[in-house]
Structure 1
């Protein structure tokens, strides 16, 4: 069997890395036109590549540096893992495990406390310490039934912007949204060319509309119109598919939804991966016009430095709990193993007897405020040593707003 080795990708190898990733994910070949749009968002930095003994690229694990909002509003340094793939004829040989180990070791050495990714499959990344930390819902709003309550979303105006205007203005607008919702991720300058500019300047028909309130531009939506008419239903309207919708204020958010639901010749408005607590139905006189079509895992989080991550967030009003992370459950970064006392007054390592025992992947899934320790007890993912501790941990880790990312990478 051929051997392989993993090293940091070198300058000049970026396109080959992207081509391998796209092939592994069954995408279309990377044309010169696509590469010209992606090159600024796909630097060599942050990439670990696997090569066979002939020097041929067989795997890639990529990330870029950003910040993630944690409960309490602090922005914590985070590695956004934006591409992991192994060539089809090299799978099941340990390539993925070796690349992920190299990436985790590098992040720990650089002092990056968190990593995050969007998982292509739900069973891969738990073994590397990741947990599904945010979820999103799919919604479909039936346009003919969707009548907004009087006065909802009437405090501003919405206008279309050209693709060129969107590329110029939306990044600065997005920076206004750096609020306190856990899971919200910063978009560094290198993110925009490959993930936003390429979309809105492409040929898929995406439109960008901006909301303006008393203090200027304060929200935007990116969507496309899909013709769903056929010979049996020629009168059926179009489907509006939301790619992303962000607003700096609740009033701007409501104004954007008012705009979408006012577009003529539309049968329905659809959004995927929307916040779990987005109250669309509350805007309408008939809440049954809104249907939730799916609930999907969104952002997966990895605690590279458990102590630093726990110290960075705030906690609810409950007595402290002692959490134990076992060595067997964090093989990649054994420095995380140990006991941590977590309470409103702070977090620190301790030698006290544990109240709850869990793996770093389970802790990651609870870290941003999604879910309950009590549910993870039922699932067998948390061992209870103090019967009252799970309820205390539920209160400590709870957040008023559901965690949500809202950014693809």
Structure 2
């Protein structure tokens, strides 16, 4: 049986590694034309691969650098893991475990406190210390039942952008949306070309529209029109499928929704992975025009440096709690942490709560409650009074949301 070894991807090896990833995801082979467009968005930096004894890649673990907003508004350096795959004829040989270990050790050595990914399967990444830190909801808004309340969303103007205008202006506009919502991801320059090639300038019929308010452009939406007509319902209107909707202000958000719900010959507007607390029903005269079609795990988070991550965010009002954290992959994180509204530090005090690093990652951005994960058997309670204090310290008013796929 052939052996494998894991090492950093060298310049010139990226295409073979990307082809391996695309094959694992059951995508079409990469043409020379497609690779010419994608090459600049897939550099060798941040990539590790498993190679067989002939030098052929049989596994890939890729990441790029970004920032996530953490509770309190600070932007924290994050490794965005954008591709993990093992070739189908090399699975069950320890390749995934070896690559994940190498990747995490590299991220830690570079002093990056967080790693994040979107999981293709829900059973893989918990054992590497990742926990579900944000969720998204799918929504379906029926037209013409959906009418906005009087005056809402009428404070600005919405207009379409050409693909060329979108390529030039949307990235700068997005930078206005970093805000204070926990989990929100920055988009480095290398992220945008792939998005524009696949979506905006692609062949799937996406449209881009921007909202302008008193201070200029302050929101945008990217959507696709889906023909819903068939022999049984030839008069049925189209479905508007939202790919992205971001706004710098509540007025811009309402204006974009008003625009979508005013387009003629439309039967419904749908969006997937929207923020859990997005108040769509509340803005309508008939809240039953909105259906939540699904709730899905969105961003999986990994605390690579537990102390640095805990120190970077702010906390609610409560007495401090002592958390004892266990990390199988990165044992430097093992230990006790005193967490309070005035700060965080390591401690030798008796622990109040004991949990694995993946569970702490699930709670870090403010989603969920310690008390719920106590019920689920994922937090061991050593001091009953500490559970309510931990809930008050960690939970955030706004639901965390990433808003970016990678």
TM-score range, shorter chain: over 0.9
Cα RMSD, aligned residues only: 0.7
Structure 2: distance between partners of 1:7 and 1:283 = 52
Structure 2: distance between partners of 1:312 and 1:251 = 30
Structure 2: distance between partners of 1:408 and 1:37 = 19
Structure 2: distance between partners of 1:401 and 1:73 = 12
Deviation at 1:387, TM superposition (A): 0.6
Deviation at 1:57, TM superposition (A): 0.8
Deviation at 1:196, TM superposition (A): 3.3
Deviation at 1:50, TM superposition (A): 0.4
Structure 2: distance between partners of 1:312 and 1:287 = 38
> SS of 1:348's equivalent?
strand
Structure 2: distance between partners of 1:75 and 1:197 = 28
- Counterpart of 2:206 in structure 1 is 206
Q: Confirm or deny that 1:276 pairs with 2:298.
A: no
Provide, for residues 247-269 of structure 1, a one-character-per-residue CA deviation record: whole Å limited to 9, x for no partner. 00010000000000000000000
TM-score normalised by structure 2 residue count: 0.99
Structure 2: distance between partners of 1:224 and 1:150 = 27
TM-score normalised by structure 1 residue count: 0.98
> SS of 1:144's equivalent?
coil
Q: Confirm or deny that 1:377 pairs with 2:374.
A: yes
> SS of 2:263's equivalent?
coil
List aligned pairs for 1:23-38, cutoff 5 A.
23-38=23-38
For these two proteins, the number of residue pairs brought into alignment is 406
List aligned pairs for 1:10-409, cutoff 5 A.
10-326=10-326, 330-409=327-406
Contact 2:196-2:202 at 8 Å conserved across structures:
no
Provide, for residues 68-107 of structure 1, a one-character-per-residue CA deviation record: whole Å limited to 9, x for no partner. 0000000000000000000000111100000000000001
Deviation at 1:54, TM superposition (A): 1.6
Deviation at 1:56, TM superposition (A): 1.2
Contact 1:317-1:344 at 8 Å conserved across structures:
yes
> SS of 2:144's equivalent?
helix
Structure 1: distance between partners of 2:281 and 2:59 = 45
Structure 1: distance between partners of 2:299 and 2:141 = 24
Deviation at 1:378, TM superposition (A): 0.8
Structure 2: distance between partners of 1:32 and 1:266 = 39
> SS of 2:217's equivalent?
strand
Structure 1: distance between partners of 2:36 and 2:263 = 34
